[in-house]
Structure 1
Amino acid sequence: MRGLLLIDKPKEFTSFDVVAVLRGITKQRRIGHTGTLDPMATGVLPVLVGNATRLADILPSNDKAYRAEFRFGIKTDTLDIWGNVLRREQTCHTLAEIEAALPLFTGDIMQMPPMYSAVKQNGKRLYEIARKGGEVARPARPATVYSIKIIGFDEPEQTLTLDIHCAGGTYIRSLCDDLGEKLGSCAAMSSLRRTMACGFSLTQCVCLAQLKEDGAEKHLLEPQAALRGYNEVRVSEKQAARFLCGGALDISRLTLPAVPATSKAADEYLLVYHKYRFLGVGKLDETAKQLKVRCLFD
């Protein structure tokens, strides 16, 4: 069994919990998720199964989309409502104030990663230090937020719901905390649902209970489904035989796609087919003028 499963991750499951459940359902050991979701977050979690795990480091799209709820007037050590409360205060923010502040958090911004995060510093993950009661100075990191849309604001309750489209590595909890600070108060994230990852949306996902009932095979996509955005190249029977034996192909003997791929990373790779048979992924070596084998799937 190999391919891609699109899971709607449930609340109170870590991403590794999902992998453990899938190992039980599929009886496969080689399973890996493509991007960590916090335990209390839900939503899109693409999971690679079998030898499709070798694609994890060349997925073409690292963009994410989230629906997040923020609650003003509370600050915690985890930057969400499930952490230890450090401060509470009455707030009376208005929609106009929020609308004025949000543009400051779009585009290329700098964020300080939360202490409760998997970022490594001096060889240790920040959450390991935080769990022992420690805190360390940490440099701000670049992040990109493409858009923020207000979905709802409950002024009496001081809760805000946003749709956020961002690049991978953006911390929504930090964005929430920074927004609260910018408005002169504090805020904590109260819910998070990932609505898009790796180009896949929630409507394409299946919950674990349904997957167990149906069987994984019903929902398993081909490995190349994870590589949406890559261009394709068709090769001859002789070229296919050479490629499957690990041999590089002469670029001058290939009809390369004229249209650029959808991302810079995807420009380096091509999905290699013989007729309608998927052989694997090739990496372009412009210096050697060759298409080299990145991984095989035949």
Structure 2
Amino acid sequence: MGGFLNVLKPPGMTSHDVIGFVRRVLHVKRVGHAGTLDPAAAGVLPVAVGASTRLIEYLELADKTYRAEVKLGLATDSGDDTGEIIESMPEFTLPDAETIEAALARFRGRITQVPPAHSAIKIGGRRACDLLREGKKVDMSSREVTIHRLELLACRKDTLLIDTDCSKGTYIRSLCADLGVVLGIPATMAFLVRRRVGDFALEDALTLEELKERGASALLAPSDFLSHLERYDLNPLREKAFCNGLATGERQHIPQSDTLKVYASGRFIGIGRFDRSNKEVVPVKVLKP
């Protein structure tokens, strides 16, 4: 048994809780997920089962779409409304649409952000949030991410509703807090829904009840959910060599990307790396029939 699942994670569950649920439903131990969602968040959680767990790292390369509520007037240590309030502004005037748009424009494109310390990012092999719970000081390094799209959908007295397409590694909590800094009003993330991870869309995601009902029939072909990787069609005569760990040596063409999804005779057989010095595709993850 193997393949991907498009699971709708409900708020209140951890991503690991979902993995435990999938194991019980499918009676399979080898299960993993791509892109952790905070317990309070909801939305698309790609899950890999069986041999397909070897492809999780490639799912995490995909861009993502989020919808978030930004609560204005307070900031928390965690960047969302589950944390301790560290700054408050009970009285403020909501900026006009033009000012908000100008602020959003500053975050489009390639930006630098500091991830929240209350996160699953590992520091010295330990999760930052676990270190914080132990009372240890955590220094988070800044990182570059890309915001492909950032739109204001609605604004109320103290809340903004935003929608964004972004690269892997983007923290929406940090985006909300940084937006507040630009507006001159403390801000925190009130709610988050992940609407897309690469080819996994919210509209197609299964609730836990639906997954329990469908069981193994809900499994999806991995090759259908790797469109963010460039395709390389291997000469069928080289398939056996590739599956045995040998480079293609055929030099059919020069791919644009270094990480490739490899096909032979129209079948997805694994992930390859393009060696530009030797101009050949080297097998990285082979999924044998």
C-alpha separation between the residues in 2 aligned to 1:60 and 1:24?
A: 24
C-alpha separation between the residues in 2 aligned to 1:185 and 1:290?
A: 54
8 Å CA contact 1:278–1:297 kept in 2: the answer is no
In the alignment, which residue of structure 2 is the partner of 1:193? 193
C-alpha separation between the residues in 2 aligned to 1:38 and 1:152?
A: 24
In the alignment, which residue of structure 2 is the partner of 1:268? 259
Q: 1:282 to 1:188 in 2, by over 3 A?
A: closer
In the alignment, which residue of structure 2 is the partner of 1:102? 104
TM-score, structure 1 as length reference: 0.87
Residue identity opposite 1:104 in structure 2: R
8 Å CA contact 2:259–2:271 kept in 1: the answer is no
Within the candidate set 246, 271, 280, 1:281 is matched to 271
C-alpha separation between the residues in 2 aligned to 1:31 and 1:281?
A: 19
The within-5 A match list for 1:144-155 is 144-154=146-156
Q: 1:214 to 1:150 in 2, by over 3 A?
A: same
| Residue ranges of structure 2 left out of the alignment (5+ in a row) | none
In the TM superposition, what is the alpha-carbon distance from 1:123 to its structure 2 partner?
Answer: 4.8
Residues 1:118 and 2:120 aligned together: yes
TM-score, structure 2 as length reference: 0.89
Q: 1:27 to 1:105 in 2, by over 3 A?
A: same
Q: 1:221 to 1:92 in 2, by over 3 A?
A: same
8 Å CA contact 2:35–2:60 kept in 1: the answer is no
8 Å CA contact 1:273–1:280 kept in 2: the answer is no
Residue identity opposite 2:282 in structure 1: K
Root mean square deviation of aligned Cα: 2.2
8 Å CA contact 1:269–1:281 kept in 2: the answer is yes
Q: 1:29 to 1:204 in 2, by over 3 A?
A: same
Residue identity opposite 2:47 in structure 1: V
Residues 1:92 and 2:89 aligned together: no
The within-5 A match list for 1:135-284 is 135-154=137-156, 156=157, 158-217=158-217, 219-228=218-227, 229-236=229-236, 238-252=237-251, 255-256=252-253, 264=257, 267-274=258-265, 276-284=266-274
Q: 1:282 to 1:143 in 2, by over 3 A?
A: closer
| 1:128-183 deviation line (CA, Å, top 9, x unaligned) | 232234544433222221121111001x3x11000011111111111111111222
Residue identity opposite 1:88 in structure 2: S
In the alignment, which residue of structure 2 is the partner of 1:13? 13
8 Å CA contact 2:199–2:226 kept in 1: the answer is no
C-alpha separation between the residues in 2 aligned to 1:189 and 1:288?
A: 48
Say how many residue pairs are matched: 285
Q: 1:271 to 1:82 in 2, by over 3 A?
A: same
